[in-house]
């Protein structure tokens, strides 16, 4: 607790950085694509969009709206989809009209439960077409490729483990 500088605390941007980050920077004379950390951080600090993770595949946009609208007026929700099956794969983006409302969601929703799962929220640079799809090899999120636990809400075992199990079962 510091009395002297009002810190953002839990609503500060986290240490996580999206490795796929790309942005178009417009200058007076030029526009170019960058993946720079500074640009990414600038966007994160201005954004009113959140990445929401660790959702069940069964959690709907309606449920997410119900929970997150308790923190402010929601502009839109983009559900994360399996790249191949086009079904929900356990994450979404929630965009608010204001940064303050998004901050409130990080403060009060992050770490609480939805559909009996602990919801994780983090700042996002803002939704771009294409980012709604899982980046894992099998179409879902990368974390669901490598998981070794059995998670009923996220399609059972991780994809790699599941593939190892299946041939044995068929014997």
Partner 1 sequence: MQRLPLCAEACEEELASTSSLESNLEGLASVLEADLPNYKTKIIRILCECVVKLPEKQAVYTTLVGLLNSKNYNFGGEVRFLADLVNCRVIVAGSLLALFDNFVEVTLEDNIPQVRSDWYVYAVLASLPWVGRELYEKKELEFQKLLVTIDNYISKRQKIHVPALQVWLSDQPHPQEEYLDCLWAQIKNVRSNKWLEKQVSRPYMAFDSVLCEALQHTLPQIIPPSHNEEIMYPLPTVIFRMFDYTDVPEELAIPGSHAIERYLIEEHLSHIINTFHLERKDCAAALLSFTTKNKIPLDYMITEVMFGHLFRLPTSPYLEIMIGSTLIELCKLQPKSMPQLAQATEMLYERLDTMKTPCIERFANWFAYHLSNFQFRWSWEDWSECTQVNPLMPKPKFVSEVLHKCLRLSYHQRIKDSVPESFQDLVPVKPQANYKYEEEGSAQLPGLMTAHQLLEAIRSKCTPEETLVLLKEVPNPLADDTDEPSHHPLRIDVFVSTLLHLGSKSFSHSFAAIAKFHYVLKTLAESEEGQICLLKTMYEVWSTHPQMMVVLTDKLLKTQIVDCSAVANWLFSADMAADFTKNYVWEIMHSTIHKMSKHVEKLQKEAEEARDLLDAHKKKIADGLDYDDDDDVPTEEMVERMEERLELVQNQQKRLFLIIFQRFIIILTDHLARCESESMDYQTPWYKWVIERLQEVFLAHHGLVFRYINTLESLLFTSDIDIHILEEIIEYHRQGSNSVMIQKDITKMMSCLSCDFSIINLTFFILIYAKRNKTKHIIK
Of positions 29, 33, 116, 149, contacts partner 1 by CB under 8 A: 116
Identity of the residue, 70 or 164, whose beta carbon is nearer to partner 1 in the bound complex: 70
Q: Is the dihedral of CA 147, 149, 153, 155 positive or negative?
A: positive
Nearest-angstrom CA–CA distance, 70 and 68: 5
DSSP line for 41-101 = HHHHHH--EEEEES--TT--HHHHHHHHTTSS-EEEEEEEE-TTT-SEEEEEEEEESSHHH
Identity of the residue, 21 or 132, whose beta carbon is nearer to partner 1 in the bound complex: 132
Both tokens of residue 41?
């951080």
Question: Is residue 128 at the binding interface for partner 1, with CB under 8 A as the rule?
Answer: no
Question: Is residue 122 at the binding interface for partner 1, with CB under 8 A as the rule?
Answer: no
Q: Where does this chain touch partner 1 (CB under 8 A) — which range of 64-72, 123-131, 151-159, 163-171?
A: 64-72
Q: Where does this chain touch partner 1 (CB under 8 A) — which range of 28-36, 75-83, 141-149, 154-162?
A: 75-83
Per DSSP, the three-state class of 32 is strand
Binding residues vs partner 1 (CB under 8 A): 1-4, 9-11, 58, 60-63, 65-67, 70-71, 76-79, 104, 107-109, 112-116
């Amino acid at each position: 607790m510091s009395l002297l500088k009002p810190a953002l605390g839990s609503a500060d941007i986290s240490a996580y950085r999206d490795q796929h980050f790309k942005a178009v920077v417009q200058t007076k004379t030029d526009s170019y694509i960058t993946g720079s950390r500074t640009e990414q951080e600038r966007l994160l600090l201005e954004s009113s969009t959140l990445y929401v993770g660790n959702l069940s595949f069964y959690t709907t946009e309606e449920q997410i709206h119900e929970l997150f609208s308790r923190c402010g007026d929601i502009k839109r929700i983009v559900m994360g989809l399996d790249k191949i099956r086009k079904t929900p794969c356990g994450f979404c983006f929630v965009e608010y009209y204001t940064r303050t409302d998004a901050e409130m969601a990080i403060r009060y929703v992050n770490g609480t439960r939805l559909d009996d799962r602990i919801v994780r929220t983090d700042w996002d640079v803002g939704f771009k077409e294409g980012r709604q799809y899982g980046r894992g090899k099998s179409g879902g999120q990368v974390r669901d490729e490598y998981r070794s636990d059995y998670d009923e809400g996220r399609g059972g075992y991780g994809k790699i483990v599941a593939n190892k199990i299946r041939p044995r079962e068929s014997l």
